[in-house]
Structure 1
Amino acid sequence: MRTTIIKKTLRVPLSDGAAGDGGATARQLDAALVKAGFKASKELIEHVSCLDDAEEYAVTVVRAVKELIGAQAQHNPYFKDFPHNVPDTVEFWLECVDDAFGKGIGFSGNLLDLPKYGRVQHSYEAMLAAHDELIPSLKDRVTVLHLGGTLDDEIVRLYLELATSAIPLGEDDRALLGELATRCLDAEQPETVPTRENRAILNAARLVAQRPLAGVDTVTDVLRLAAEASGGDVTLREPTRFRSFRRPERRALLTALDEVARQPGKLGDVAQNREAWKRLGERLHPHEHPFEHALDVFAVARQEKTARSFAGQVEMAFADNDADLALRVLSKAPGMLLRQVDRLIRNGASGVAEAVRTAAPDVSGRVLVSVLEHLSNREQPDAARVFANRGRKVWIADDTRAPLDAGAVAEITSVVEDELVRRLPDFSELTIDPEVLDVVVPMSGTATEDGFGVLPRGSKLWLDGDVLRFFVHWRQKAKRTDYDLSAVLLNEKFEYKGQLSWTRLKAEGAFHSGDITEAAAGATEFIDLHRDAIDAKYVVPQVNVYSGEGFDDVAESMFGFMSRDLAQMGKPFEPSTVRARSSMRGKGKVALPVMFEREGDTWYGTWLHLYLRGTSWGNRVEENRDIVKLIASAALHRRYFTVRKLAELFEHKGSTSDGTKIHIGLTHSEAGGVTTVAELGNMLSD
């Protein structure tokens, strides 16, 4: 848990060990952190200096930061001298064939049958010996670690931070919240839990511990709770195999369900998850308990009773081509009204802007921001409509929608912006780190991945350095697994210029580290891009599952990138040069973590966090380059709700002498007073 807290918060919990002389260890810790691109705060160094168990404590800190940036693994490329001496692809293949014949092995035409292909031929130590020491640069990343409170205090603090998040958490954070909820049953509890998924996670811990449930006010809340308590999907996207509940648990679930179902209007939500309700009914045995209203829920699920949903009333109005009736119905549900604004305008409903003005104060900031972003992209048709579900799996369709009326869009945009401005905190002074201006304000944890330096989908960042290097690392769990790092090269018109992969190891100004085809102890592949030599405007990295375990199945999988100057030398993986390290966890077989754009002396990266379905076996860059071109073009042309846009709203609000000073950055500083981009999402979502 101490390691988890360091990785999630960059705070190091206090040691509860005895006092002693840890001065020498403190200096060693500082040196080790610098090599990894981190720096201990003054308070942390002083704390380590006064510990008797300083060495064990320091080891935990270093291990945590190495895991955070992916430096815990031995990143050993196939070509020992990479990025130097990368051979021509066909030349390399012939070399592998000659090696096989020299060992008396025939060649069947399958590269995987060649003993030299896909298996690293040198030790990690031999690779290190082939590279000079990294020459430090002022451009190298330095991330500060701060001293936190006691371990128990930090556990509760992290628990409250996750539980009270106003934006939906990602899968990893939901799992962590579940663990913390069990540990913190007797600790301070959050006053409010804004997101329903989080409520279900907390209630699942209470259910098992036979504690009172809280915040259950829809039938779907009960279903989410049962799914979470069964180890299933609290988002209800994936089917859950409900477990057998103990009698007290069944009574608690049915009691909560009975209370909600006393309001007939609540039964309209049952049809959305009819099959799940039928499966849950088999586990709860509702007929064994005197809960009349709970029985109605399962009767609706079995279609023995009818309960028309609110959404059904809206659909009937649209089906009758009566957009004004649809608007009147939607006016009873402010959040749904805002989500249907585009449809209402397209179908000619009158008075939409005024209805939005009335509804906006009762709508979450997350919905307001999503509407604002959506409308900003409806001025003209997109080259392609790119859809991504909560699991980040992507599909593409032609944009056949007619542009919305500009006047209607401007009127509604003004109403939504005014409401967001009203909700912003009073401030006396606003300063913003330039590096965060093009970062998307996070409204959901599902549009990103767990990791270090990872930003929400659509966020842009800039990278100095002559060389941009990105990598994939994976470690198989149960069977041989081959991931392939590749990249599509595009010109300024998004036309195909070439690619880097195991079938093309080098291009103008670009080099591949070599194909590795199994990863029992972990494997890493790299691609180098030399900014001033590469003949491409855009570069879209991708990771293909060629064979074996998928991204959700392997023991470990990550993507990351680093930058350095040509004079820096160093081994292929230098922790202090890592700018970002993202986990890869998705259902598709092709991962598109990020794309890069070359502009003058700078690389600009745009986070994608997308997965293509791919095929069950043999995914290659040559087969999906056309869809990648469409995704890259759509991602760069889309307008997102960024910190830059938020700064405009702050400007509209205007400063006040009695307001607080606000500084927006990516991480907290030692001096404090920084509002991080992640906190902005929570602030707007309240």
Structure 2
Amino acid sequence: MVHPLERLVIRHTLRLPSPAGPAGEGDVAARQFDAALMSVGFKLSADALRTLSGLSEGTVVDTAVRTLATVRELVGDHVRHNVYFVDFPANVPDTFEFWMRCVTEALEDRKARPGIIEQLRTGVINLLTLPSYGTYRHTYDEMLAAHDELTAAVGDRLTVLHLGGTLDDEVTALYLALAGSTTPLGDEHLADLGVLAEHCADGDQPAEIPVRENRAVVNAARLKAGSVPLLDTVTDVLRLACALSGGDVSLQAPTRFRKLSRPVRRALLAGLDEVVARAPAKLADVLVHREEFKRLGERLHPHEYPRWPHAADVFAVARGEKKAYTFDGRVEALLGADDVTGAVRLLESAPGKLFRALDRLLRSAATQEERDAVLAAVERVAPEVSGRVVLSVREYLHNRAEETGRKRVFINRTGRAHVTDDARRAVPEDERKQLIAVLDAETARRLPAPERLLVDPDVLDVALPLSGRATAAGLGVLPRGSVSPVDGELLRFFVYWKQRQRVTDYDLSALLLDARYDTVSWLSYTNLREVEGEHSGDITNAPDGASEFINLRLGSVRGTYIVPQVNIYSGERFEEAEESFFGFMLREAEQQGQPFEPRTVRMKSELRGPGRVALPLAFRRAEDGSWHAKWLHLYLKGHPAHNRVEGNQVSVATLLQGIVEREQLTVGYLTGLMANAGTEVAIWDAASVPDEPVTYIGLERPEGLHPDSVVITPENLRDLIPE
């Protein structure tokens, strides 16, 4: 059985915790383990292979069984991927021809025949009523027999598993990294932090937990372990209550508060009382979440605890029985009176709010004196603003150039997106450039100054992960806005889903657009075959899990963009399904193989967002003919049912244009600042690995680095964001 904590370590770090077991002659078993890993696109590092070879055979076998189960799930190989057309991508029929064959087979079926005849009389056939449509017509083993073995290719993915420390050491290090992250975590990582926090409640703790959602999860574990939670705002208490009730600690979705035990109620009320007693002005924060505090008060019964009067004030404010004046309300009053200078003076006491209001302040400023006041305030408070906010504003200002004519893209915390025309007045160009210079200088001041920095050039276009919610859990996944090269002749998408309770039909599609974002063609269940490739066939029910594939020959693609999407035609939402994930593979034309081959998988990500149309990423052809992936991690609201690629062409194209034309801050931006500050920055060369410790930034951890080296890969890319 896979140890849940060991699974978390491997999934988050691609490190194999050092196995505990007796010494022995495990070299044969270790080599067999390595070969089994290679069959699914993984490999043991030299240190890991050497260490396992010195352990007993039983220890190696047990480690292999657990690790293989984990990495197979990482890449999506833990389920059986069948296809409707048994020898896909060969012999995929023309769509109309296929539908006519399904109708003919239905007419030959005694039970189905009367209903089909009745439909034919109306002139409209419902495909879902055809017995041979939408369900597998062969077994998984029959499908395997129809395909030749995959021929190995140099370009096949080979992800190295490096040897880590003991399981306890690795778990503690992972906990400290997630809890102390300077950027918010995605939902999956936040859930993992909850597991780790309960295990590590009595152990080492991070010096600081800057992200409030992370703090709420850690506080829940501390409270369960009998420790005092870390609270310094009334909202911290509300988030903690949500965590204890299994709700949304980001406060974006309503939480149904559970019945709380008396000790927990006392802890929450005592926390509220202390926060307000220490800083009465924080009562104003209650107004932002008034309804949530009302519902929480119904669970806490503050009237039963008169010794905490300040806690009672919190709920009096929520009910409107006690006045509290919000900071934002005071700012609005000043701006409403056209007192920009006064608003700036007030906002200096809340540096983060000042940074977030910069655009409005500059547009509202009527004189040069007011604009100068804004710039001076930014310079004074910049050292007090979190690195994540500094970088977010820097990126925003870069894309706020005068007269850009760009679309305005709105993406909420859950990945739901929409686009509108930007009707705002331009920000004054001189002030915009001056602010960018100030933010660059502040970021450079906070960055580390390693003696030597080695960089894999493929990582330079990876977007900085300013929020963990701008990505998804999985393998080979990069933050929204990242650009990565695509090398291979065949591009193959896949989606897998397994319904929990209701009949559920997901449809994998690919929209092909030209350079002006106009539709060229598409591949879907309504268009099974095109010049560019083939669709594997529509599956409409997934009680045991179902897969769909799209195979594309990149050299034949007409147009500039390929936009894969997953549409919910009917049934359960992505978050409701028992499991749902998307990915893509790259192959050479001569490789053949099964529809799903784990060692050709370049990316696999979970589909758990809102909306009924998922847009994981897009592919763009450059002028030289090469292809690159642009990572999206977006969801469209879609329709309640029957979403199809034909129905969302315009919205997808508009959204893609807004994302493609927006420039993200990348790893290259930070390494450029470090180089300007005097750090020696060199391109990584695997042929000449240095003997001394270095700082390395790349897509994968290379072999042979000095053990004291600092290594930054996508798994811990958030560590690049300065505090």
**Does TM, scored on the shorter chain, surpass 0.5?**
yes
Aligned: 1:361 with 2:398: no
Residue of structure 1 equivalent to 2:103: 97
User: 1:170–1:445: 8 Å Cα contact kept in structure 2?
Assistant: yes
Instruction: State the secondary structure of the residue aligned to 1:532.
Output: helix
Residue of structure 2 equivalent to 1:206: 222
- How far 1:46 moved relative to its partner? 2.8
Aligned: 1:307 with 2:324: yes
Residue of structure 2 equivalent to 1:350: 371
- How far 1:57 moved relative to its partner? 1.8
Aligned: 1:272 with 2:272: no
Residue of structure 1 equivalent to 2:12: 8
User: 2:242–2:248: 8 Å Cα contact kept in structure 1?
Assistant: yes
Distance 1:382 1:122, change over 3 A: farther
Deviation per residue, 1:393-421 (Å, 9 max, x gap): 11222211222221111000000000001
User: 1:482–1:516: 8 Å Cα contact kept in structure 2?
Assistant: yes
Tell me the distance in 2 between the aligned counterparts of 1:498 and 1:83: 18
Aligned: 1:24 with 2:40: no
Residue of structure 2 equivalent to 1:86: 92
Aligned: 1:331 with 2:355: no
User: 1:383–1:630: 8 Å Cα contact kept in structure 2?
Assistant: no
Tell me the distance in 2 between the aligned counterparts of 1:404 and 1:521: 55
Aligned positions of 1:90-239 closer than 5 A: 90-104=96-110, 105-106=112-113, 107=116, 108=119, 109-214=125-230, 216-239=231-254
Tell me the distance in 2 between the aligned counterparts of 1:430 and 1:57: 35
Letter in 2 for 1:550: R
Query: Which residue of 41, 46, 54 maps to 1:37?
Result: 41
Tell me the distance in 2 between the aligned counterparts of 1:456 and 1:14: 30
- How far 1:457 moved relative to its partner? 0.4
User: 1:37–1:143: 8 Å Cα contact kept in structure 2?
Assistant: yes
- How far 1:137 moved relative to its partner? 1.1
Distance 1:219 1:545, change over 3 A: same
Query: Which residue of 229, 241, 247 maps to 2:262?
Result: 247
Deviation per residue, 1:133-167 (Å, 9 max, x gap): 11111111111001222222222222112111111
Deviation per residue, 1:210-244 (Å, 9 max, x gap): 22222x11110111111101111111111111122
Residue of structure 2 equivalent to 1:530: 553
Tell me the distance in 2 between the aligned counterparts of 1:424 and 1:306: 44
Distance 1:112 1:656, change over 3 A: closer
User: 1:86–1:505: 8 Å Cα contact kept in structure 2?
Assistant: yes
Aligned positions of 1:391-540 closer than 5 A: 391-540=414-563
Letter in 2 for 1:304: E
Tell me the distance in 1 between the aligned counterparts of 2:456 and 2:444: 21
Provide the TM-score with structure 2 as the length reference: 0.92
Tell me the distance in 2 between the aligned counterparts of 1:669 and 1:310: 50
After TM superposition, which residue ranges in structure 1, 4 or more long, deviate above 6 angstroms? none
Letter in 2 for 1:188: D
Tell me the distance in 2 between the aligned counterparts of 1:681 and 1:27: 34
What's the Cα RMSD here?
1.6
Aligned: 1:62 with 2:62: no
Aligned positions of 1:588-627 closer than 5 A: 588-599=611-622, 600-627=624-651
Instruction: State the secondary structure of the residue aligned to 1:146.
Output: strand
Provide the TM-score with structure 1 as the length reference: 0.97
Tell me the distance in 1 between the aligned counterparts of 2:225 and 2:592: 56
Residue of structure 2 equivalent to 1:541: 564
- How far 1:24 moved relative to its partner? 2.6
User: 2:712–2:719: 8 Å Cα contact kept in structure 1?
Assistant: no
Deviation per residue, 1:637-660 (Å, 9 max, x gap): 101001122222122212379x97
Residue of structure 1 equivalent to 2:122: none
Distance 1:307 1:678, change over 3 A: farther
Tell me the distance in 2 between the aligned counterparts of 1:260 and 1:522: 50
Instruction: State the secondary structure of the residue aligned to 1:461.
Output: strand
Tell me the distance in 2 between the aligned counterparts of 1:161 and 1:640: 24
Deviation per residue, 1:93-144 (Å, 9 max, x gap): 0011111112222223111111111111112122222221111111111110
Tell me the distance in 2 between the aligned counterparts of 1:13 and 1:165: 22
More divergent stretch after superposition (38-47 vs 503-512): 38-47
Tell me the distance in 1 between the aligned counterparts of 2:347 and 2:246: 35
Residue of structure 2 equivalent to 1:573: 596
Instruction: State the secondary structure of the residue aligned to 2:586.
Output: strand
More divergent stretch after superposition (70-79 vs 642-651): 642-651
Residue of structure 2 equivalent to 1:671: 704
Query: Which residue of 287, 295, 303 maps to 1:287?
Result: 303
Tell me the distance in 2 between the aligned counterparts of 1:478 and 1:401: 47
- How far 1:428 moved relative to its partner? 2.4
- How far 1:61 moved relative to its partner? 0.9
Deviation per residue, 1:495-549 (Å, 9 max, x gap): 1112111111122222111111111111111111111112121011110000111
More divergent stretch after superposition (554-563 vs 390-399): 390-399
Tell me the distance in 2 between the aligned counterparts of 1:250 and 1:529: 58
Letter in 1 for 2:280: P
Instruction: State the secondary structure of the residue aligned to 1:557.
Output: strand
Residue of structure 2 equivalent to 1:684: 721
- How far 1:390 moved relative to its partner? 0.7
Tell me the distance in 2 between the aligned counterparts of 1:84 and 1:513: 10
Tell me the distance in 2 between the aligned counterparts of 1:81 and 1:539: 24
User: 1:420–1:684: 8 Å Cα contact kept in structure 2?
Assistant: no
User: 2:419–2:658: 8 Å Cα contact kept in structure 1?
Assistant: no
User: 2:134–2:538: 8 Å Cα contact kept in structure 1?
Assistant: yes
Percent sequence identity over aligned pairs? 49
User: 1:133–1:570: 8 Å Cα contact kept in structure 2?
Assistant: yes
Letter in 2 for 1:668: R
User: 1:167–1:681: 8 Å Cα contact kept in structure 2?
Assistant: yes
Instruction: State the secondary structure of the residue aligned to 1:484.
Output: strand
Letter in 1 for 2:149: E
Letter in 1 for 2:229: L
More divergent stretch after superposition (2-11 vs 356-365): 2-11
Distance 1:326 1:660, change over 3 A: farther
Tell me the distance in 2 between the aligned counterparts of 1:517 and 1:680: 39
| Number of residue equivalences | 684
Instruction: State the secondary structure of the residue aligned to 1:427.
Output: coil
Deviation per residue, 1:553-585 (Å, 9 max, x gap): 111101101111111111111111111101001
Tell me the distance in 1 between the aligned counterparts of 2:497 and 2:717: 33
More divergent stretch after superposition (172-181 vs 41-50): 41-50
Tell me the distance in 2 between the aligned counterparts of 1:406 and 1:497: 38
Tell me the distance in 2 between the aligned counterparts of 1:668 and 1:535: 36
Deviation per residue, 1:356-378 (Å, 9 max, x gap): 11111100110000001000111
